[in-house]
Amino acid sequence: MSKIKIFKIKGEFITLGQFLKEETYVGSGGQAKWFLAESPVILNGQEENRRGKKVHVGDEVEVQGQIYKFE
């Protein structure tokens, strides 16, 4: 199991696509759409594939085995 990484949100929320870009999983929104279609991303225990899905403080996201806690 990997260590949980803390991701600090600048504002009220961040979209899943923006998060994937900031963490360099993808380089653009188009790539985020493709990435989410091909790779399972788990948001609070549920698979999520919408790049516009809002992620808030307290949420947890798992990407390629890495867990992120949002603060």
What structural domains and CATH numbers belong to the chain?
5-70 (3.10.290.10)
Q: What H or E segment, with its residue span, contains residue 41?
A: strand 41-43
Residue 29: what pLDDT? 86
Cβ contact 15:55 at 8 Å: yes
Mean pLDDT, the chain cut into blocks of 10 residues (71 residues total): 89 97 94 94 97 98 97 97
In the beta sheet, which residues pair with residue 54? 15
**What is the predicted pLDDT for the residue at 50?**
96
How far, in Å, CA of 45 to CA of 11, rounded?
23
The answer to whether the beta carbons of residues 51 and 33 sit under 8 Å apart is yes
pLDDT for res 4: 95
> Residue 39's beta-bridge partner residues?
none
**According to the model, what pLDDT value does residue 66 have?**
96
